[in-house]
Each structure stands twice: as structure tokens, then as C-alpha cells.
Structure 1
Amino acid sequence: MSLVGRDAELAALDTAVDRFVSGTGGAVLITGEPGIGKTALLSALGRRARAARCRVLDGRATEFERDDPYSVFRELVATNPSVDRLSVPDAVRSRLSGLAPVVLALDDLQWADAASVDLLGYLLRHPPRGAVLIAGALRSAGCPPRLAVALASCRCTELRPAPLTRVETARLLTGADPDRLDALHADTGGTPSISRFSVGRARRWCGRRSPPVTRRRPWGGWSGPGRTRPG
């Protein structure tokens, strides 16, 4: 699957995977506003790692599990049910080393519970042995303070995907009404998910006098009839 306007980011992921496959671990952090394509880039990293015959472990934080300890690492913690909570960081670190080569891909870290944030910080400060690549995605304004401290103390490849240009938006939305493309790009701010959502809505409203456009609010939300948050 091709990601429009993300050539530089994909090249950086290729470099990270090449280093990782050669036996060097590392960390990749993808930050950006909602809908900018963080999850798509994290998925692209996973596909590249799997193509190189490496294991990929996925984790995702949700706003409904912020009180559940280690919810982001549930798969790894569940494999060691007898481990004392105080020993979880060392147990997870050892487990990852034993699974190498492995990519740990963690999405929506802005919602991570405190225990998961502390564990991730521990893994960044004390990387597992072997080819272990830790990758995370989170909103620009959502980095937990303790995670920010851990990131500042380690070598990390940080990707910050930018909004799409008008030309890139046109490539993304093949078949969109060219007469509305300028307004669409301006109203959505070049955010891929919002652009797709807005065009899909306009097509469903085909034939009405004024098809709706989903607009990006300055604080990161969206407006429009039947407001829905893009993924």
C-alpha cells in the first residue's frame, strides 16, 4: 500500500528496519495531530519488518483503559502471569530479548496508563539485548511527561509527518471533484484521514445543493454534520 506524501518517512523506516535486521536495536517515535497518518506509518513499519521475517508485537493504548496497569503491554505481561508486578519491567525486557528479532509497535501512546509509560521509559533507558526495535505513535500534544524524559535520554528516530500539500491531496483523493479541491484542502488542513472522510461524505450527499465539508478545528477537533473522529 502506497502512502501519499510520506516518502521521507518511509525512507527513514526503511533505514530503521535495515539497522534492526543487521542486529542493532533502536527506537522510532511517530508524532503528529489526529488523522495525520501516524497509525499508517506504524503499520508500514510492521509490514517491512514482517517482510524481513521478523516478529511484530502490536500494542495499543485506549482512553478507556488508562486505569489498567500495563494495558499497552498486555500480550507480553500475560505470558508471565506469575511474575510479581515489581519484576514486570525486567521480565518484559528479558522476554523481548528472547524473541529477537522483534518489533514492538505501540499506538496511541497519549492514552497509555502510568505503568505502561514507566515500563516503556525503562525499556528505552535499558534497551533489551539483540535486535529489538521499539516503535511508538502518539499525538503531538499528548506525550506523557515521564515518557518525554525517557525519550530525551535515548537515541530515537522521530518522525513528524506534515500535512499534505494540495498536489498530494489530489493524488490521495483520486476522482475527487477538482473544482472543490482547493476548498477541501484548505478546510481539512491537508490531514489525510479528514480529507478522505470529507470526500466520502460529499459523495454520499451527491445531488444535494451543498455537500458538507469536514473542517479541522484549530485545537485538533473536527466539525460537520454527524461529527465522527477519523482514525
Structure 2
Amino acid sequence: MLSKCVFSAPLLLALMVWRLGEVAEACSCSPTHPQQAYCTTDIAIRAKVIGQKEVVAGNDNYGNPIRKIQYDIKQMKMFKGPQQEIKAIFTAPISPVCGVSLEREKEYLITGKLESDGSVHITLCDFIEPWVSLTVAQKRGFETRYETGCDCRIVRCASVPCAVNDPVECLWTDWITESTVAGPQTQHYTCIKRNDNSCAWYRGAAPPKTDFMDIEDP
């Protein structure tokens, strides 16, 4: 005769809470325009991955070791960050907790958080892309252009109708018009302040002159 496995109510509740905890640990990120990534990040660099190893970074509250992946990098250029060379970046060991997987001998545009001890930590929610996959406008953006638009706000349109509520906002409509957040505005546009202090999308890598889009135009 097969025996039945019967759970008491408290045990069943505990299992449900444990399962919800597992789900809550999954990595979840909101889409971010690269300009937003630049303006809100602590560091933005172009770097080549030259090594990788697992390290232990202390213990958690229960005495368990906190494991991280350390990527040794060769910094090619600093776009934003401290006036010092960054030689390593750290991330969680697995993607469900936002760990980032990078390829050795490959160059990346990397944004991340500068910790109080001077180390740099990256997650799947940061803007991290192979350098060769960036458009000319995105490369120029990280070099000079995005910084000029940090006083503007980019508002993502996730469903229609949507509109800006302030002159300093630019409506990000790639998801609506292209069904992807990696559309033309992401690849080629920067939200920049005009002479009247309102903000509008500007396309291109050269300094803006008159080639602005209307603030309500995608």
C-alpha cells in the first residue's frame, strides 16, 4: 500500500512562504534607455575582460560564505567614475540573482555600482553591452552626449495612451512602435535640453544644432 504524505497547515504555510521566497529572488529589471543608465550609474567604462575567478566576499547573516564572480579587466576608457583605474568588477555567481556572464577577451561597455570599499559591482539590471554592438550614437552618447541630457527625464511608454507631463520629459516609445526596447530611440537618440529649457529627442552623434524631434514625436 502506498503511503500518503500529509502536511500540517503550519508546515504547508512554511513551504508556501519558502517557495515565494525563491520566486522573489529571481532577477527582475525595468527597461532602461542607455542615457538613463549613464545618468544614474556610478561608473561607465569601456573594458576588456582578461580573467575570471570565483571569490568569497565575507559571510551572510547565517555564517554562509558569500560567493561572487570576479572579472579581471583591462580598462580601455573611463566615461564616468572615480579618477582611478578599475582592474576588477564583481557580480553574483548565477543569473537568477542578477549575476552577469561576460566573455573573456571581449570588450564591453559596462555600467555598475561603486561600493564603499572602492570595488565595482554589476548586475543584469545594469547597461552592459559588447562594445562592437553599440551604435555610433550610443558610443558618442557615453563619451559626451548623454551627460548633457542628465537634467532631462526619459519616460517609457509601455501602453497607449501615454504622454509627457512636464517639458523636461522625453517620451520613450520604442516598445509601442517597434515591440522592443532596443528600437531607434535607444540606438540613435539622446534626450537633450533646448534653449527654452524644455527637452526633446536629438538624433545623431554630432553636436546638436536644429535637428530636434518634436517632444511628442516618437
TM-score using structure 1 length: 0.27
Identify which of structures 1 and 2 has the higher relative contact order when contacts are C-alpha pairs closer than 8 Å and 6+ apart.
1
TM-score using structure 2 length: 0.28
Q: Of Structure 1 and Structure 2, which has the larger fraction of its residues in helix? A: 1
Q: Of Structure 1 and Structure 2, which has the larger fraction of its residues in strand? A: 2
